[in-house]
């Protein structure tokens, strides 16, 4: 069972990117193109037949050795998930092999495409965590493979945390990959956060030598090929069986924050060479992509933050869905300059009322953070679950997700900002009842505290009682409007029908005076 970290120390590890950024040959089926992205906001394009891509032959990771002993599976995960109660099992394996680096052939193309050649090779011995239905018959055929996030100086699984309800209720398998060096070997953390000093930057080998002492990571330049080789093993290449005999239909790569930066580079540079994945969920990426890296070293996230904006290349062969919060667009993460139109195989969703890291991700630890205002308690998780379902459907059937409206931008000041209404609520974007029928102001903007963590956690501020009285004639009127907005969000595709009751539970009529 995974050891979930419940101390404030874990906040630094789980909250993604700007802990660092503030400072510094088989043929298998893949996704078909959807129809044109030039459709009305909130509408779904038509369905086309699922296409195939050629998967070049290549080495698969050796995943035959299961990791046991020590203190159990270690992940920077704040809130625990009842895997057994949902019919799931968890196993951890060594992933070993010989990986290559990649070297760019010249500058990126205008559309983000990067031509690469293979560079140096070296041996690796990292770890993967597998969560799957105990009964193979309950597996839905889709593996979500997450590039574990290391921005806080250790491996964390934010996409699993946000998407757990969807993953477990619908029979997905999940594989978390320790793709980057610092998660295994430890190393310098770009920003040392006092509450994370006990864990951050230690690496698996130091945190639990009895379990992880034999691991070895040759550097982040090899991370992209390690990720590819694990995907091949997940498909069963090399005789691997990570899923208890269940057959894999498709693999979706997922990565949040720094890992989203990495997947941006993977799609633009590595994917055309490998075609290892059937779709990509790029979550809370910034404007640039992560550098390709060099042998022996960890990639500096500062180098990524200071890079130029990078779009997703125009000739992608499988679906890519980008999911961005308010924070991601205009903060130091800086996605805004990398905006691009939706295409047959690209969707970008921008979500009103959300922050890069929120209460839904860090749970009760949120109460111990002093950001000068309560941190964001918005609908981020609802958006992740919907995005995952839509991406999976896209890959399976060719039915593309709806094209959604962008968040509106105010460019009247010194720097771009999210445009807001008189109450401070974002305009445009994907909208949920908590922003369209508000009793609080949910924002991706940070609170007044200078702590770097607070740059990512947004805010939840009250709406004055007199304003609430203007908005709603009674608590019953508020509840009726909230219910109507919930059903409207389901109709647009922003909210899954299975999440209807969970969204209705977010209503707070008690904040209104009868």
In 3D space, the residue among 502, 412, 452, 425 whose CA is nearest the CA of residue 331 turns out to be 452
pTM as predicted: 0.91
Which stretches of the chain drop beneath a pLDDT of 70?
1-51, 78-79, 190-197, 514
Hey, where are the domains in the chain?
A: 9-49+134-175+243-511
Contact assessment for residue 140 and residue 174, using Cβ atoms and an 8 Å cutoff: no
pLDDT tens track for 59-95: 999 999 999 999 999 998 766 789 999 999 999 999 9
Closest CA to 67 of 33, 98, 38, 90: 90
Q: How far is CA 254 from the centre of its chain?
A: 6
Determine the Cα angle at 500 with ends 495 and 505, to 5°: 120
CA 22 to chain centre: 19
DSSP 195: G
Other beta carbons within 10 Å of 123? 11
Task: Name the token pair of 239.
Answer: 């005789």
The predicted-structure confidence for 94-139, as pLDDT tens digits, reads as follows 999 999 999 999 999 999 999 999 999 999 999 999 999 999 999 9
Please tell me whether residue 131 adopts helix, strand or coil conformation: strand
3-state SS assignment for residue 132? strand
Secondary structure (H, E, C), 260-314: HHHHHHHHHHHHHHHCCCCEEEEECCCCCCCCCCCCCCCCCHHHHHCCCCCCCCC
**E strands within 56-115?**
88-104
> What pLDDT is recorded for position 79?
66
Per-residue confidence (pLDDT) for residue 10, from 0 to 100: 44
What is the C-alpha R_g of the chain?
Answer: 22
Residues 6+ apart with CB under 8 A from 477: none
3-state SS, residue 433: helix
């Amino acid at each position: 069972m995974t050891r979930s970290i419940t101390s404030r120390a874990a906040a630094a590890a789980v909250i993604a990117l700007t802990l660092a950024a503030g400072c510094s040959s088989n043929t298998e089926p893949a996704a078909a193109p959807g129809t044109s992205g030039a459709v009305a906001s909130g509408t779904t394009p038509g369905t086309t037949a699922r296409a195939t891509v050629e998967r070049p032959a290549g080495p698969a990771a050796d995943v035959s050795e299961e990791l046991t002993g020590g203190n159990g599976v270690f992940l920077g995960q704040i809130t625990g998930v009842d895997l057994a109660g949902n019919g799931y099992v968890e196993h951890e394996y060594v992933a070993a092999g010989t990986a290559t680096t990649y070297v760019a052939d010249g500058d990126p193309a205008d559309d983000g495409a990067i031509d690469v050649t293979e560079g140096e090779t070296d041996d690796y011995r990292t770890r993967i965590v597998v969560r799957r239905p105990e009964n193979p018959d309950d597996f839905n055929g889709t593996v979500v493979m997450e590039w574990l996030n290391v921005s806080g100086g250790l491996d964390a699984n934010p996409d699993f945390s946000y998407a757990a309800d969807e993953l477990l209720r619908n029979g997905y398998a999940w594989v978390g990959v320790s793709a980057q060096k610092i998660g295994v070997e430890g190393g310098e953390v770009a920003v040392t956060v006092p509450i994370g000093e006990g864990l951050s930057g230690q690496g698996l080998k130091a945190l639990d030598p009895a379990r992880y002492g034999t691991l070895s990571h040759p550097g982040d330049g090899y991370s992209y090929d390690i990720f590819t080789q694990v995907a091949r093993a997940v498909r069963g290449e090399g005789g691997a069986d990570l899923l208890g005999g269940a057959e894999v239909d498709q693999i979706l790569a997922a990565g949040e924050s720094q890992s989203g930066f990495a997947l941006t580079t993977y799609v633009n540079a590595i994917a055309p060479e490998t075609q290892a994945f059937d779709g990509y969920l790029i979550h809370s990426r910034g404007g640039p992509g992560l550098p390709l890296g060099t042998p022996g070293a960890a990639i500096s996230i500062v180098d990524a933050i200071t890079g130029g904006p990078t779009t997703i290349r125009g000739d992608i062969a499988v679906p890519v869905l980008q999911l961005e919060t308010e924070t991601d667009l205009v903060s130091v993460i800086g996605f805004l300059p990398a905006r691009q139109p939706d295409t047959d195989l690209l969707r970008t969703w921008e979500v009103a009322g959300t922050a890069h890291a929120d209460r839904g991700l860090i749970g009760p630890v949120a109460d111990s953070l002093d950001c000068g205002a309560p941190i964001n308690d918005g609908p981020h998780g609802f958006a992740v679950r919907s995005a995952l379902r839509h991406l999976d459907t896209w890959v399976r059937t060719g039915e593309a997700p709806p094209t959604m409206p962008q968040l509106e931008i105010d460019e009247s000041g010194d720097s771009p900002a999210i445009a807001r209404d008189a109450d401070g609520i974002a305009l445009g974007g994907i909208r949920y009842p908590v922003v369209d029928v508000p009793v609080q102001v949910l924002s991706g903007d940070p609170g007044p505290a200078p702590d770097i963590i607070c740059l990512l956690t947004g805010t939840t501020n009250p709406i004055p009682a007199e304003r609430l009285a203007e908005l709603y004639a009674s608590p019953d009127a508020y509840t009726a409007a909230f219910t109507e907005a919930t059903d409207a969000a389901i109709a647009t595709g922003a909210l899954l029908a299975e999440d209807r009751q969970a969204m209705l539970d977010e209503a707070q009529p008690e904040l209104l005076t009868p």
